[in-house]
Structure formats: structure tokens, C-alpha cells
Amino acid sequence: MKHKIMAMAVALGLALGTVTGMGVASAADVKALRDTPVNAADKAPDTYKVQDGVKHERAYRQQPPLVPHDTAKYEIDLKVNQCLRCHEWPYSDQEKAPKISDLHYIDRNGVRQDSVNGNRYFCTQCHVPQVDAKPLVENQFKPAVTGR
């Protein structure tokens, strides 16, 4: 019973934003990215032109490289994956496209397979076309620098 009352007091404190000692921001400090009411449709997001052919360095070693070309027309579903027709070997040689790295062929048990594994099938889950978009929120992100 005592615990229950304590939990309720903390929950109430959180809701009112009064537990400042615990580093919880008050409601007034939190700015939502959404500026339309919940029951209204959001306005369509800005569209950006893909920076074709520009090479951006990776910001950290494990980063999936950005896509230097438009991807909107390439279908990826259960039956087809059009990214593969250029990026999978041996097509990659013919199309002069960078070959998908071997990590994309390893299944969740660490076993190397002969075709792109399901966990890497939906390419655009990780690889996004590069655009000159402004950050959604102000931040101090800096690329990791190796070899220093």
C-alpha cells in the first residue's frame, strides 16, 4: 500500500513536471515536432532534391552509406528488389555500382548465406538518399573522427 501511494505521488509529480530534482523537464520545456492538432492532418513534409553524384563522407565507421542517387522509383517488396539488380554481384560489375558488402549476407546466427539476408533486404530501412535537409531540432552532433 505504501509503495502504491509512493508510486502515485511520483507519477503525479512527473505529470505536473515538478520533479525537477530528478532532471525531468517541465511540460513547458518540451517542444513537439508536430505543430498541428492531433485530430488534423499534418501538412505534407518538404520535398528535397537528391544530391546526385555528390559523395558525402560517413560520419562514423558503422554508418550505412547515404545513397547518391534517387530511389523513389525502385520497388522493394516480397517479389522484387530493384536495388539488387544493380548492387548485387555480378550485376554490380556490369552496372559499375558499388557491390553490397558481405555483411549483408550474414544471417542472425552469423552464418554466411548465398543471397542477401532478410535482415538486410529492405535497403531503404538503412540507406537513405542524401539531401540538403536542415536538422529537425537544434543539436551538437559532430562526426566521429578516427585515427587521431
For ligand HEC, the binding residue among 8, 16, 89, 95 (CB under 6 A) is 95
Residue 20 or 143 having the CB closest to ligand HEC: 143
> Which 66-85 positions form the footprint of ligand HEC (CB under 6 A)?
67-69, 71, 74, 81-85
Residue 51 binding ligand HEC, by CB under 6 A: no
Q: What is the DSSP letter of 55?
A: -
Q: Does 118 bind ligand HEC (CB under 6 A)?
A: no
The number of C-alpha atoms within 13 Å of 15 and in the hemisphere containing its C-beta is 6
**CB 118 → ligand HEC: shortest distance, Å?**
10
DSSP state of 33: S
Nearer to ligand HEC, 19 or 51 (CB): 51
Is the alpha carbon torsion for 124, 126, 129, 135 positive or negative? positive
Helices (DSSP H) in the chain: which residue ranges? 2-16, 84-87, 91-95
Question: Could you give the C-alpha distances from 10 to 21, 30, 31, in angstroms and in order?
Answer: 12, 19, 23
Residues in contact with ligand HEC by CB under 6 A are 53, 62, 64-65, 67-69, 71, 74, 81-87, 95-98, 100-101, 103-104, 116, 120-127
